[in-house]
Amino acid sequence: MQCWGRNDNGQLGDGTTTNRLTPVLVSNITTATSVSAGGGHACATLADGTVQCWGGNVNGQLGDGTTTNRLTPVLVSGITTATSVSAGGFFLTGFHTCATLADGTVQCWGRNGNGQLGDGTTTNRLTPVLVSNITTTTSVSTSSSHTCATLADGTVQCWGNNANGQLGDGTTTNRLTPVLVSGITTATSVSAGAFHNCAMLADGTVQCWGHNAKGQLGNGTTADSNIPVQVSNITTATSVSAGYEFNCATLAGDTVQCWGYNGNGQLGNNVTADSNIPVQVLGIVPGIIVPLRSADTLSDVEIAGIAVGCIAFVIILTLIGLCVRSRRRADKLRARGAPVAVTPQQPQVIVIQTS
């Protein structure tokens, strides 16, 4: 695993707090199966079902029983059957982490001021605690102060901060344990944004709910909604990812559409005007290109010889991240603002934009 970018909390995992303009190896991790970036920390699941985290730990978000920042990965206490992990946060404001376990339960740790750990309290936890009443989870997604999970029956449950209706239960009341998102019964995935969420449904449509000041719900308005609304003109989505006031979805034809805040060009349509309905990302041709979590496209990055997953934290004007996970060894990839086309002479890649 390799990381690059901002490193003031040790979130690159290389044993230093030195910002890195090119990738550096995360110390002592050789069997990672997934990775997730938070506001100032990162976590990875390993092949043996354990989780390791590194970086900022002021609220115990590394799960090692302390509040000491870690410059290299440490083992999360008590987790041995993790299938995925999600590190919460945007712009250094997220301080909790959740993991899905093989038995369908979820455990969370770290900051809990809004009930985002889902254990019925607002007590910070330095080690994992069980989320109440969830036993059939298929995925979990953390934000700065709330969390959502998809369940095996196609429903979605959320908990934590609900000031903008981001829990989707028709209220703006914070919840210390999971509540059912109204009207969703065929969700295949959910992605938690800063103060909103989006779910992909089995029919290829996308529904979003919560904060909408920048049009991030994608329904042609800027009005918040405390229940899900359908994103306009998307019927063939294959994935969706919610960022900080914007979202992107991949479509069946290997194209990408994005909507919401666009002040730094994160919608990829060669303008900086916000859009409250999806717009086409320019320059993406059929390949495998997936936007994830938040931020703008990082320009002028050269990556050589990466064959495994990577994660990065970068702030340029706003927090900007770009991670590339190669399907096969890449000789060279240049990203200059808009996505580069994948030609037959170039390796197909997965491009992941993270906050």
Contact 105, 134 (CB under 8 A): yes
| Mean pLDDT, residues 80-107 taken together | 91
Q: Identify the residue with better confidence: 190 or 349.
A: 190
Q: Where residue 341 falls among pLDDT bands split at 50, 70, 90? A: very low
Residue 177 pLDDT more than 50? Answer: yes
| Mean pLDDT, residues 108-123 taken together | 98
Q: In angstroms, rounded to a whole number, what is the distance separating the alpha carbons of residues 261 and 24?
A: 31
**Domain boundaries, given as residue ranges, for the chain:** 1-29+295-355, 30-293
Give the per-residue pLDDT at 226. Answer: 98
| Mean pLDDT, residues 174-198 taken together | 98
Classified by CATH at the fold level, domain 30-293 comes out as Methylamine Dehydrogenase; Chain H (2.130.10)
Residue 143 pLDDT more than 50? Answer: yes
The set of residues, in sequence order, having a beta carbon less than 8 Å from that of 98 and lying 6+ positions away, is: 85, 86, 88, 106, 107, 108, 109, 117, 131, 140, 142, 147
Indicate the range of 15-29, 261-275, 284-298, 325-339 predicted with least confidence: 325-339
| Mean pLDDT, residues 203-218 taken together | 98
Give the per-residue pLDDT at 91. Answer: 66
Give the per-residue pLDDT at 338. Answer: 43
Residue 237 pLDDT more than 60? Answer: yes
Task: For 161-176, give the DSSP string.
Answer: --TTSTT-SSS---EE
Residue 46 pLDDT more than 90? Answer: yes
Share of the chain above pLDDT 70, in %: 79
Give the per-residue pLDDT at 89. Answer: 82
Share of the chain above pLDDT 90, in %: 77
Residue 97 pLDDT more than 50? Answer: yes
| Mean pLDDT, residues 78-97 taken together | 88
| Mean pLDDT, residues 2-29 taken together | 96
Residue 308 pLDDT more than 80? Answer: no
Give the per-residue pLDDT at 284. Answer: 87
Using the CB atoms, write b or e for 63-99: b if 16+ within 10 Å: bbeeeebbbbbbebeebeebbbbbbbbbbbbbbbbbb
Contact 168, 177 (CB under 8 A): no
Indicate the range of 124-138, 179-193, 276-290, 321-335 predicted with least confidence: 321-335
Q: Is 147 exposed, middle or buried (0-12, 13-18, 19+ CB in 10 A)?
A: buried
| Mean pLDDT, residues 170-174 taken together | 98
DSSP state of 38: -
Asked whether the CA dihedral 239, 47, 155, 266 is positive or negative, the reply is negative
Give the per-residue pLDDT at 318. Answer: 29
Q: What is the pTM of this model?
A: 0.81
Residue 281 pLDDT more than 50? Answer: yes
Give the per-residue pLDDT at 104. Answer: 98
| Mean pLDDT, residues 8-27 taken together | 97
Residue 292 pLDDT more than 90? Answer: no
| Mean pLDDT, residues 326-345 taken together | 36
